[in-house]
Amino acid sequence: MATSARDPAPGTFSRILAHPLTLLILGEALVGFPAIVLASFGPNQIRAINPALVFPFTVAAVMATFVAYRAFKRWIERKPDGELPLGLGSLKEVTGGFALGVALFSLLVGAVALMGGLKVTGMGHGTIFFPIAAMSLAAGVNEEVMFRAIGFRFVEKLGGSIVGLFAASLFFGLAHLANPGASLFAAVAIAVEAGILLGAAYMVTRRLWLAVGLHAGWNFTQGFIWSIPVSGNPAGDGLFLTERNGPDWLTGGAFGLEASAVTLVIATIAGLIMLRIAIRRGHWVPFGWLPPTDEAKSA
C-alpha cells in the first residue's frame, strides 16, 4: 500500500493552539502576567517582612520566569527556545547590552547636565546597591519576557514588525502610568524611547539577551550610579549624588530622566539606529495580516 510522504495535517485543536493569537493569550496568562506580578508586587510584600530577603527573592522570581518561559516554549508553543538560549554567545549579548545601557544613560545625564538641568553634588555610600540591582534584574528579565519575547513576538506574527513594535510599546508605556510621579507625557516617552530601543535590541539578534542587558544596565545606571528616580521610584543613596533643577521637560520631574525630552530624543535616535541594523540583517517582518513565517517561506 502506498503511503504519503507528507505529514498528516494537524487537527483543529492543534491549529488553534499554534495560532499566534492563542499563543499570545496563553503566553501572557501563564508566563507574562505572573512574571510582572513577581517582579513588581512580590518584592514590596517581601520588603515588609524582611528587606534583606528582597534580592534573593528577586533572583528566585527571575529564575522561575526563565523556567516558565522555557516550559511554555517546549510544551505549548512546541518550538526550541530561540529567545533565551544559554551559552557563551548569550553571555556576550547580555554583558554588551548592559554596557550599552550604562553608556547610553550616562550620555543622557551628561546632556542634561550641559543644559543646566543636573549637577553632581557629591559621592554617596552606595547603600541602595542591592535594591537597585534587584529592580534592574527583575525589569531586565521579567518585563522583557512579557513585552518582547511574548507580546512583541506574537503580535509581529499577526501583523508584522511595525504592528508588533506599536503594540508592545503602547502597553509598555501604559504599564508605567501606575508608577509614582507618572504623567501622560512620561507614559508616552517610555512607550516611544524604550519601546523602540528595547524592541530593536531584540530584533537585532532575534534573541532576548541584548534587550535584557540593555534594560538592566539602563535601570541600574540611573538608580545606582546617578541616584536618579527609576520610572518614578524614589532615588536613594547611590554612587554619585545628583540634583536636578529646571523645567520638567528637561529634568523629567518626579518621574526621573526617563520623562525628559532630552531622553526621548536621544534614546529614540539610538533605538532607530538599532532598528536600522535589524532591518539590514533581514529581521524586519513586513506589514500584513498573518505575514508569512520563515517556515512558510522555505516550504
The answer to whether residue 290 scores a pLDDT higher than 60 is: yes
Per-residue DSSP letter, 137: H
Average pLDDT over residues 106-121: 98
Residue 244 pairs in a beta bridge with 118
Q: What is the pLDDT of residue 269?
A: 98
Instruction: Tell me if the pTM is above 0.75.
Output: yes
Distance in angstroms (rounded) separating the CA atoms of residues 65 and 83: 13
pLDDT at 44: 80
The whole-number pLDDT of residue 6 equals 53
How high is the pLDDT of residue 291? 64
3-state secondary structure of 230: strand
pLDDT at 42: 83
pLDDT of residue 295: 43
Three-state secondary structure call for residue 207: coil
Supply the pLDDT for residue 51. 86
Provide the pLDDT for residue 292: 58
Burial of 271 (0-12, 13-18, 19+ CB in 10 A): buried
Check whether 296 has a pLDDT greater than 80: no
Q: Is the pLDDT reported for residue 228 higher than 50? A: yes
Question: Beta-carbon neighbour count of residue 273 at 10 Å?
Answer: 11
